């Protein structure tokens, strides 16, 4: 079995070693233009040329959870796409979102400013019930985040495409449930995949439906958010602030208003990193399962877009 590795911005050697150890029968190499046809590919942001030169791949194994970049390429209709499901990302997302939420809710920035000013003083304790948290996307990552936040006794709501039941979470689904979900949410967490349906989903008319003093945590994709609309709603006071891990243009360009905005915290697309060892083990397991003709978790429905 032949496996090709084609991952932009990724050091290949440790992946090749790990995959070779997990799949000793496989012949694994880094893709070069003109390379012979492989059976499987391990990819992140491959060029179109790679797809065009490898039309008979049995599967593209994406070393990330989101496949929006991959699905922008022209793929042969029969080409199977498999993504990471969890592989150590869900716990990272849960800690990142919990941190952002609690930092905002407990006003830790204000306490830090007081500390730096040498001042000992109390702020009025916020009421947890005034901060309902709405998680958009109840998949592998969103469900873990919703369950984790519920452990801190926040009211938690979740929204997905199909109806879902999650213990401790009030769930909504589809276009018909979206308005009610937004109206009941104050802290909006985005964990949707980027698809034609979800592109620009956080924009003026949707964010304006959140409870006053809303807070936005975007950990999915930058193109979910209309950045100018968020800035305007913060300026107008409806939105109190945001924690943003992903941006329309990455790296965030110099001079972008998010860099120095007092009510916005940014991180460089790091809320849930691909963990190499966990990912190698998962991808090797999926390739072995596909070789045996078995179904695998994380199989992408390319028509649906996630
Ligand atoms: P999943 O595919 O497991 O979950 C997606 C969820 O979104 C599902 O609940 C799905 O609903 C819901 N959904 C999809 N489309 C719609 C829609 N139109 N309306 C309402 N709900 C919808 O994905 P993951 O949880 O694994 O990952 C989510 C995203 O997180 C990734 O696509 C990626 O963009 C992002 N990500 C970001 C990272 C970072 O470091 N910032 C790291 C990893 C991922 P249903 O359950 O009905 O199918
Ligand atoms: C992913 C990501 O999709 O890193 O895995 O954003």
For the chain, give every domain's residue range: 2-87+274-291, 90-266
Ligand 1 lined by 191 (C-beta under 6 Å): yes
From its phi and psi, is residue 171 left (phi > 0), alpha (psi between -120 and 50) or beta? beta
Average pLDDT of the chain, as a whole number: 98
- Per residue in 179-234, pLDDT (tens digit) is 999 999 999 999 999 999 999 999 999 999 999 999 999 999 999 999 999 999 99
- What proportion of the chain, given as a percentage, has pLDDT over 90? 100
Give the model's pLDDT for residue 109. Answer: 97
Ligand 1 lined by 97 (C-beta under 6 Å): no
Nearest atom of ligand 2 to the alpha carbon of 84: 5
The residue nearest atom 2 of ligand 2, judged by CA position, is 64
Tell me if domain 2-87+274-291 and domain 90-266 are identical in fold: yes
What is the Å distance from ligand 2's center to 67 Cα? 8
What is the Å distance from ligand 1's center to 299 Cα? 13
pLDDT-derived band at 66 (thresholds 50, 70, 90) equals very high
pLDDT-derived band at 84 (thresholds 50, 70, 90) equals very high
Ligand 1 lined by 286 (C-beta under 6 Å): no
Active site residue 238: no
Give the model's pLDDT for residue 68. Answer: 98
Give the model's pLDDT for residue 222. Answer: 98
pLDDT-derived band at 263 (thresholds 50, 70, 90) equals very high
Active site residue 304: no
What is the Å distance from ligand 1's center to 79 Cα? 21
- Per residue in 104-160, pLDDT (tens digit) is 999 999 999 999 999 999 999 999 999 999 999 999 999 999 999 999 999 999 999
Nearest atom of ligand 2 to the alpha carbon of 221: 6
Of 103, 204, 269, 276, catalytic? 269
Give the model's pLDDT for residue 265. Answer: 98
pLDDT-derived band at 277 (thresholds 50, 70, 90) equals very high
φ/ψ of residue 231, rounded to 5? -60, -40
pLDDT-derived band at 290 (thresholds 50, 70, 90) equals very high
Give the model's pLDDT for residue 208. Answer: 98
Ligand 2 lined by 139 (C-beta under 6 Å): no
Give the model's pLDDT for residue 55. Answer: 97
Q: Give pairs for 148-151: CB < 8 Å, separation 24+.
A: 148/94, 148/97, 148/98, 149/94, 149/97, 149/98, 149/101, 149/189
Ligand 1 lined by 269 (C-beta under 6 Å): yes
Ligand nearest to the CA of 10: 2
- Per residue in 240-262, pLDDT (tens digit) is 999 999 999 999 999 999 999 99
CATH topology of domain 2-87+274-291: Rossmann fold (3.40.50)
Ligand nearest to the CA of 298: 1
Give the model's pLDDT for residue 204. Answer: 98
CATH topology of domain 90-266: Rossmann fold (3.40.50)
Ligand 1 lined by 139 (C-beta under 6 Å): yes
Give the model's pLDDT for residue 215. Answer: 99
pTM for the model stands at: 0.98
Of 221, 224, 248, 273, catalytic? 221
Ligand 2 lined by 65 (C-beta under 6 Å): yes
Give the model's pLDDT for residue 264. Answer: 98
Nearest atom of ligand 1 to the alpha carbon of 271: 40
């Amino acid at each position: 079995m032949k496996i090709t590795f084609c991952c932009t911005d990724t050091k290949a050697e440790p992946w090749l070693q790990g995959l070779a150890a997990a799949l000793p029968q496989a012949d694994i190499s880094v893709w070069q233009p003109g390379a012979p046809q492989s059976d499987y590919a391990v990819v992140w942001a491959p060029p179109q040329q790679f797809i065009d030169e490898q039309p008979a791949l049995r599967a593209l194994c994406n070393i990330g959870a989101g496949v929006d970049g991959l699905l922008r390429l022209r793929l042969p209709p029969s080409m199977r796409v498999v993504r990471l499901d969890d592989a150590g990302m869900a716990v990272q997302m849960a800690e990142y979102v919990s941190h952002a939420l609690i930092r905002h809710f407990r006003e830790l920035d204000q306490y830090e400013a007081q500390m730096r000013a040498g001042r000992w003083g109390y702020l009025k304790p916020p009421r947890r019930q005034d901060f309902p948290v709405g998680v958009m996307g109840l998949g592998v990552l969103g469900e873990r985040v919703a369950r984790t936040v519920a452990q801190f006794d926040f009211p938690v709501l979740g929204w997905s495409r199909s109806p879902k039941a999650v213990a401790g979470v009030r769930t909504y689904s589809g276009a018909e449930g979206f308005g009610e979900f937004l109206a009941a949410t104050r802290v909006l967490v985005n964990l949707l995949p980027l698809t034609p349906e979800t592109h620009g989903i956080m924009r003026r008319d949707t964010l304006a439906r959140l409870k006053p003093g809303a807070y936005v945590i975007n950990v999915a994709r930058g193109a979910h958010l209309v950045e100018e609309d968020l800035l305007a709603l913060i300026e107008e006071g409806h939105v109190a602030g945001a924690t943003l891990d992903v941006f329309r243009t990455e790296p965030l360009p110099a001079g972008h208003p998010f860099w120095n905005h007092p009510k916005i915290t940014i991180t460089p697309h790091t809320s849930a990193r691909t963990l190499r060892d966990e990912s190698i083990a998962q991808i090797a397991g999926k390739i072995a399962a596909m070789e045996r003709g078995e179904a695998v978790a994380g199989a992408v429905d390319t028509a649906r877009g996630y």
